Structure 1
């Protein structure tokens, strides 16, 4: 089942109309209808919808786990949960403990050397490794969990914004260029993080925040050396 199917199923199981769910969550009824038909793929109120319907937020967002696995909290508990997340700001964690109702496992992007042994690399997803990420952070930004992935920034080209070794989160569902936003790129087998700016004739500017050491680059999006956009970087961890 997709999100639209799980949402419709849960709402009918609770014998709740779209109008009533709209009133309980403060979400426009048209948006709820669009979610159930698949016209809208996510919403920042997905966690609140889950608690209103008394279902596990992780199940509603991804289909993982049981429908009622973590759904006993009343709506007041949702407020407490969001307050806690605001103050404590839980980020990516790794470990063998079971996932909580507000966690999802995201695949990771890596550079992997080709088997030919000539030093050439390719960018692959997951490669057997995952990171945990708060579902509430995804829904707050309107990122669908199935479109989310993680990576690790390498090098100093985006300093001081993104430090070397910082984990980042990528929305693979946003590949169109929004001027000035940060994107993850597969560029000739290298995983690169740059700000992108559109140019005429299908060209794009790659800009580093550390412009003194890394000059601006320009490429054709259709050329043989063009970077492939993996997705927009919507979160990164800041080290001091």
Structure 2
């Protein structure tokens, strides 16, 4: 097939790319890098999607549908509307004009010990303003980030009692050794995750010498453990 045939074959991707740009802008992402960061892909990969040089993977389309209520029929063919009327408010409402981002601070504690109340059942207490460049260096998606307190000593010395935790709610894929906020039953906990060869999972405390042993969950019990986000930064008073 000649060069012209190949370009004609990919021509249908151009309007899809333009609609993807429209989605990004409607959601409040001012630049491609932040949108790629929220999804978890390199910026150059998203650049190819928006320029119509690569097909959108099914995983990306399902993420747009499930996370932001994007109408996939509209995204693929232009039929219908981008999003239902109830979902049209920009997802990112914390963008400031000077390169700063307003992060929601929730009046709730994640226990470094016994679980406390769930994150999403509380209104924010005070917003915390951070530089977008700082969040970018951490690898945190600004529109999915929030700040909560940590209580207890089970994660010492990594997380002292009373620390503020910056968590990214978009990062729920368990990475070996990463620190995550988990919903466990009626409460939430801050722990490290470790998969075992027997398909069980350990939630680990850093302060094991003080009597905080691993919490082991069987394969049947794993469904009761819900990762709410990864801890990207620990902030505390010296």
In the alignment, which residue of structure 2 is the partner of 1:105? Answer: 103
CA distance in 2, matches of 1:64, 1:121: 27
CA-based RMSD: 3.9
In the alignment, which residue of structure 1 is the partner of 2:17? Answer: none
Measured at CA, do residues 7 and 220 of structure 1 come closer, stay the same or move farther in structure 2, by a change above 3 Å? same
Match of 2:118 among 104, 119, 123: 123
In the alignment, which residue of structure 1 is the partner of 2:24? Answer: 3
More helix by share: 2
What are the residue-to-residue correspondences of 1:1-240 with 2, within 5 Å?
A: 2-4=23-25, 30-34=45-49, 62=92, 70=97, 101-108=99-106, 110=108, 122-125=117-120, 126-134=122-130, 135-200=132-197, 202-213=199-210, 214-220=212-218, 222-223=220-221, 226-240=224-238
Q: Identify the range of structure 1 (120-129 vs 136-145) with the bigger mean alpha-carbon deviation.
A: 120-129
CA distance in 2, matches of 1:141, 1:128: 22
CA offsets per residue over residues 39-83 of structure 1, 9 Å max, x none? 599xxxxxxxxxxxxxxxxxx993556xxx73xxxxxxxxxxxxx
CA distance in 2, matches of 1:137, 1:148: 12
Measured at CA, do residues 198 and 180 of structure 1 come closer, stay the same or move farther in structure 2, by a change above 3 Å? same
Q: Following TM superposition, by how much is the alpha carbon of 1:144 offset from its aligned partner in structure 2, in angstroms? A: 1.9
CA distance in 1, matches of 2:148, 2:133: 19
In the alignment, which residue of structure 2 is the partner of 1:80? Answer: none
Aligned residues: 168
Q: Secondary structure at the match of 1:184?
A: strand
Unaligned runs of 5+ in 2: 1-21, 33-41, 64-89
Q: Following TM superposition, by how much is the alpha carbon of 1:147 offset from its aligned partner in structure 2, in angstroms? A: 1.5
**TM-score in terms of structure 1 length:** 0.56
